[in-house]
Amino acid sequence: MANIVAIVGRPNVGKSTLFNRLVERRQAIMDNESGVTRDRHYGYGEWIGQHFTVIDTGGYVTGSSDIFEGAIRGQVEEAMDEASVILFMVDCGDGLIGMDNDFAKIVRRFKKPVIMVANKADNPDRVYQSNEFYELGMGEVFPISSASGGGTGELLDEVVKHFEDKGSDDRDEGIPRIAILGRPNAGKSSFINALLGEERTIVTDIAGTTRDSINAHYTLFDKDFILTDTAGLRRKTKVHEDIEFYSVMRAIQALQDSDVCVILVDAERGLEAQDLNIIGLAHKYKKGIMIMVNKWDLIEKDSKSMKNFIADLDDKLGMMTWIPKIFTSVTEKQRIYQAIELAVKVHENRERRISTSQLNDALQPEIEHNPPPALKGKYVKIKYITQLPTKSPTFAFFCNLPQYIKIPYERFLENKIRSHFDFEGVPIKLVFRQK
């Protein structure tokens, strides 16, 4: 059984700062505006050889004007339900307030080990003030400063005492990561929820509901992978709030951390400039790429609709027509599992290794038939080809005059590699070296 630590409390007590400290990276968004964290947010921590999952949650409130309030409350309760240990966080600066008392009653209902964490204990006075939280009757109070890390060692010593088992090593290692990316409101969160069969992320018709990148473990056809739901990426000129800026940065980080990027496109809007920017980024970072056209059920169709749509996509993709496309409807659950199958296939293509003999047997006849054009009376001779041991497919062509090989011939060689071997959905890199 996995060890799970849930960080809960009212808004603005520093939950996300502690989360980032425990997972040792800046993964959750922090801002002085309350209500920034909306979804359950998962990361991995380790302390004295014990591995655990950390869940950051939204601030628990009642009676506020935030339309997400009810959904956030549901997420917080779900996180406490999942947890092995609950970290109930309060603020030494504010002292004990009515909202903490109200929330304590909810925490008690879950019958889980609860550790009182008094945050912002940045000086001896604040540490002394933390004693008033004993009034809540939750046992020992741990004064910490999540910003500086003070007191977190003692807190973690207490946390791991409650674990039932040692927890495995980083269980994400070697598991393909699939990031769901796209413009706001394309249906990313709905897609993840439809696959998982639970409301892991909050879904509304309001663009920008998802702010952080949310990871979920998923198994299909006996294969494990991690799905990452991200904030919708919009043009920089449209990004007004600081939080939205962090969300975009987090989506880009999710793209960098992923193996395969599923670009979710709204069928009614088609492939827009921002989608192409995301594809360009994924290509730059040499990720597997596929396009998932969502809301296909809303399009009036005739016998040529799909063909015309694909032709329009390929026209906008230019040289990247090797990106596979699938047409889905998340709300109708049409082809959503085939979309994941396609993502897995793209991941397998990205991991593909071709032996040197296979490469040369396939490509040397093509090169003899279509040799590189002579330049300044000099002829380029490609002696042999090999695949380099890199994370994404890279092929080295050893020749006498590598500097004379130009872009059009490079494209010809890439197309020939693609025609002989299945690299659908994967950027491939060619390097030319002196023999």
pLDDT of residue 256: 73
Per-residue pLDDT at 156 exceeds 90: yes
Residues 285-312 have a mean pLDDT of 91
DSSP state of 424: T
Per the model's pLDDT, the better-predicted residue between 308 and 48 turns out to be 308
From 304, 327, 351, give the residue that closes a domain: 351
Residue 283, domain extent: 177-351
Per the model's pLDDT, the better-predicted residue between 302 and 366 turns out to be 366
In a domain, 168, yes or no: no
pLDDT of residue 376: 83
pLDDT of residue 245: 38
Residue 214's pLDDT band, with cuts at 50, 70 and 90, is: low
Per-residue pLDDT at 232 exceeds 60: no
Determine phi and psi for 98, rounding to 5 degrees. Answer: -55, -35
Domain check: are 117 and 93 in the same one?
yes
pLDDT of residue 377: 85
pLDDT of residue 144: 96
Task: Measure the CA dihedral 353/356/361/364, to 10°.
Answer: 110
In a domain, 170, yes or no: no
In angstroms, what CA-CA distances link 2 with 49, 87, 128, 164, 213?
14, 17, 35, 9, 21
pLDDT of residue 237: 47
Neighbouring residues of 86: CB distance < 8 A, sequence distance ≥ 6? 5, 6, 8, 80, 107, 110, 112, 113, 114, 115
Per-residue pLDDT at 199 exceeds 60: no
Domain check: are 230 and 255 in the same one?
yes
Mean pLDDT for the chain overall:
82
Q: What percent of the chain has pLDDT over 90?
A: 46
Domain check: are 327 and 383 in the same one?
no
Residue 250's pLDDT band, with cuts at 50, 70 and 90, is: low
CATH at 413: 3.30.300.20
In a domain, 166, yes or no: no
Q: How many CA atoms does the CB half-sphere of 48 hold within 13 Å?
A: 11
Domain check: are 103 and 206 in the same one?
no
Per-residue pLDDT at 210 exceeds 50: no
In a domain, 172, yes or no: no
Per-residue pLDDT at 344 exceeds 60: yes
Domain check: are 182 and 236 in the same one?
yes
Domain check: are 137 and 245 in the same one?
no
CATH at 92: 3.40.50.300
In a domain, 76, yes or no: yes
Reported as a single tens digit per residue, the pLDDT across 172-185 is 556 888 988 887 77
Domain check: are 253 and 378 in the same one?
no
CB atoms within 10 A of CB 15: 29
Domain check: are 145 and 208 in the same one?
no
Residue 301's pLDDT band, with cuts at 50, 70 and 90, is: confident
In a domain, 169, yes or no: no
> Total structural domains in the chain?
3
Domain check: are 185 and 135 in the same one?
no
Determine phi and psi for 303, rounding to 5 degrees. Answer: -65, -20
Domain check: are 155 and 32 in the same one?
yes
Domain check: are 311 and 398 in the same one?
no
Per-residue pLDDT at 203 exceeds 80: no
From 299, 329, 351, give the residue that closes a domain: 351
Domain check: are 90 and 144 in the same one?
yes
Reported as a single tens digit per residue, the pLDDT across 81-121 is 878 899 999 999 999 999 999 999 999 999 899 999 999 99
pLDDT of residue 169: 46
Reported as a single tens digit per residue, the pLDDT across 125-145 is 999 999 999 999 999 999 999
